[in-house]
Structure 1
Amino acid sequence: MKNAGKAKRAGLRLLVRVTMVVGLLWVGALALDFARMHGQTASAPVLWPGLGVVCVVWILFAGFVVVFFRDPDPQPPGDPRLIVSPAHGKVDLVGETTEPEFMGGSCRRVSIFLSIFDPHVQNAPVTGKVALLKYQPGKFICALRTESAAANENVLIGFEPQTNPNRRLAVRLVAGVLARRIVPWIAPGEELVCGDRISLIQFGSRVEVYLPMSATVMVSPGQKVAGGKSVIARFD
């Protein structure tokens, strides 16, 4: 599968940067204590007790990074008529909407909320070609609100399925109050296999899927879905 391991490497880079900051704080604390012991800075605080707190916070943060940047292996079905969830999370809205940019009008909509405890790697919902990749600036309101998809910063990805390019579908990656960075790993014209990793959103966000009106939605609000695995709809 394409882009395997990218999420874990992103998490490792973040952990290294935070570790460097913590290391610099430690060096500063040691320098202040050394100066105090030698009478050069009589008012300097004794910071050794605080280092234990910093260690605990760093360990908790490291655990969070491991959980957040985990990257489960996709397990797409073999049937090309089936559309898998592009995200890990909970379906909180199923209905109809209008998406003129790529779908050209009325379409079915499946909205998935990603909590900070869900994996934040996204997967290709079908095998096919990336026909559109468009960044849209916007706000950063809480992604728990379904209207955030229309107002927030987002990236729209359009897909043309290999078996029938005319049955277009689209995925919108939505930033949130915490998730302020959307990292696409794909480019227009790129061919993908169902389940391929396509992007990473950091931290807590929303993903919307736009389907043709002829598609049959196979999930309902409140249902948990796994990216690259759970079937959310079917081409009829």
Structure 2
Amino acid sequence: MTFHKEGYTSLALTILVIFVLNAVAHYYLPDSPAIQWILYTLSFVLFVIIVQFFRSPFIKVAQDEKHVICPADGKVVVIEETTETEYLKDRRIQVSIFMSPINVHVNRHPVSGIVKYFKYHPGKYLVAWHPKSSTENERTTVAVENSQGVTVLFRQIAGALARRIVWYVKEGDKAEQGDQFGFIKFGSRVDVFLPIGTKINVEIGEVVKGGITVIAEL
């Protein structure tokens, strides 16, 4: 288990705030140990929340070209046939994973291949499970074509709390199944669009693990 690089600034600010609050309490309330202990407790809880949010566990990815692995920790909230209108412009099976603030927020490539399309979209911050969040929220869209010519498209979607999406990909990059392609801060959602006929291995409400759970078979 390591601390993700995207959390360095947040951790530094948290430590600074904790230090200032406790220093002020000691200076202005030297005779109020109860208040000081309350601040100690709150400071510890805040520190733990930040550390657990930005944790980045070591995982062993079992790569398989036929498998689509889960791009994020969370819970499956959508499995439905829909039309992907941005890049593929055809019918697809959409599988969506909701990431709560307590989940690991690393995003991983579900398949290996070449990044054929990437685009960042500024947008709203509707709750991540809102039906229009896929098309109206701040988001990124990535399409990866594997060696068999099969394209899998996936999106990072910001939520009501997630106010920053980070990505590490661009068109033309080689994607390795299980490698990190991004990070979303403080709650979010990832949509995966699969070819019609793909075998789906998960169900609505199922808890899944990024880089480990095989959500589908091409």
Q: Would you say the 8 A contact 1:74–1:227 is kept in 2?
A: no
Residue 134 of structure 1 corresponds to 119
Max Rg structure: 1
Percent of paired sites with the same residue: 33
Deviations 1:149-199, CA, capped at 9 Å, x for gaps: 2221111111111x22x3111111110111111111222222121100111
Letter of the 1:143 counterpart: A
Deviations 1:82-125, CA, capped at 9 Å, x for gaps: 11011111111111111122222211100111111111101110
Letter of the 2:108 counterpart: N
Residue 120 of structure 1 corresponds to 105
The yes-or-no answer on 1:19 pairing with 2:19 is: no
User: Comparing 89-98 with 69-78, which one deviates more in the overlay?
Assistant: 69-78
Q: Would you say the 8 A contact 1:133–1:188 is kept in 2?
A: yes
Deviations 1:38-72, CA, capped at 9 Å, x for gaps: xxxxxxxx776543322211110111122211223
Taking the aligned partners of 1:28 and 1:59, their CA distance within structure 2 comes to 17
Q: Would you say the 8 A contact 1:111–1:146 is kept in 2?
A: no
1:227–1:33 CA distance, 2 compared to 1 (3 A): closer
Higher strand share: 2
How many pairs does the alignment contain?
218
Alignment of 1:48-197 (within 5 A): 49-161=34-146, 163-164=147-148, 166-197=149-180
Taking the aligned partners of 1:205 and 1:24, their CA distance within structure 2 comes to 31
Give secondary structure in 1 for the equivalent of 2:56.
coil
- Structure 1 unaligned residues grouped into runs of 5+: 35-45
Give secondary structure in 2 for the equivalent of 1:158.
strand
- Length-normalised TM-score, structure 2: 0.89
Q: Would you say the 8 A contact 1:103–1:169 is kept in 2?
A: no
Letter of the 2:11 counterpart: L
Taking the aligned partners of 2:59 and 2:145, their CA distance within structure 1 comes to 20
